[in-house]
Amino acid sequence: MRTSRHFQLRFMGIIAIILPLLAIFLTQFVYQLPFPQSISETATIAWRTDWLLPFCLGALALFSLNYAIFYRYDLLDRILTLSMFVGFTLVAAQVCESPYINVERIGLFGVNQQWSHIIHCIGAIGGFGAMILWILLAFRKSDKPKAKQSIRKRMRNNIYFWLGIGMIASLLFFVVEMLGFLPELFPTVFWAEFAMLLFGGTACLFKGAAFLRDKKTQEDIDRWNFMHN
């Protein structure tokens, strides 16, 4: 169970990191589309990229739900991962406001563009906000006092802290732009989302024992690999 949790966290980390990279690759190098103002806008630019957001965010939502059901450690862990599931599901279900939309009713709920944008932003703030708390609080928890924690655990906790701070700063940029205080010429939301996904994905990779793993974690992974080979 412990080892499968590590693999799931790594998968979540990889999905989070490749989402904005895929958005750039597909829009700029494959289909030569306009640079999106946000990652979410890739779901509205053309049918060739409209699968990207619901697929990747849907995967993060499902894995958050699975984590909440099978791998939670306490009530806080469960609440935060369930909140991520709800937030990312709303983001995937309802697209953001976009000049490329030419239909009246959109998204899973069949609402107009203005309401779809509101639902989308609420989901993004809720999902990313829960992810930030998950990293800052749940990832850094330990059943040992700080003095008895391994050097690698203390190093990972420092990494989680600064990645979480970076996500908070990025989320603030997202909110400020959403309120209309920044010029629309620069794709602020895209790069804020890029940073949040990069920081969050990196934290999941560290928590999934891709880097700086402890001896006990390495033994668990070696045992799991031996049993499945």
Q: How many helices (H) and strands (E) does the chain have?
A: 8, 0
Q: For 3-62, how does the pLDDT look when each residue is reduced to its tens digit (9 = 90+)?
A: 688 888 999 999 999 999 999 999 999 999 989 988 999 999 888 898 999 999 999 999
DSSP 213: -
Query: What pLDDT was estimated at residue 21?
Result: 96
User: Where is pLDDT greater, at 25 or 148?
Assistant: 25
Q: Which residues are CB-neighbours of 110 under 8 A, at least 6 positions away?
A: none
Q: For 70-123, how does the pLDDT look when each residue is reduced to its tens digit (9 = 90+)?
A: 886 788 899 999 999 999 999 999 999 888 998 889 999 999 999 999 999 999
| Least confident stretch, 55-64, 136-145, 210-219 | 210-219
The answer to whether residues 84 and 134 touch, using CB atoms and an 8 Å cutoff, is yes
DSSP for 30-66, written as a single string: IS-PPPPSSGGGHHHH-TTTTTHHHHHHHHHHHHHHH
Q: Where are the beta strands (DSSP E) in the chain?
A: none
Q: Which residues are CB-neighbours of 17 under 8 A, at least 6 positions away?
A: 197, 198, 201, 202, 205
Q: How far apart are CA 50 and CA 47, in angstroms?
A: 5
Query: What pLDDT was estimated at residue 229?
Result: 57
Query: What pLDDT was estimated at residue 31?
Result: 92
DSSP 147: G
- Binned at pLDDT 50, 70 and 90, residue 226 comes out as very low
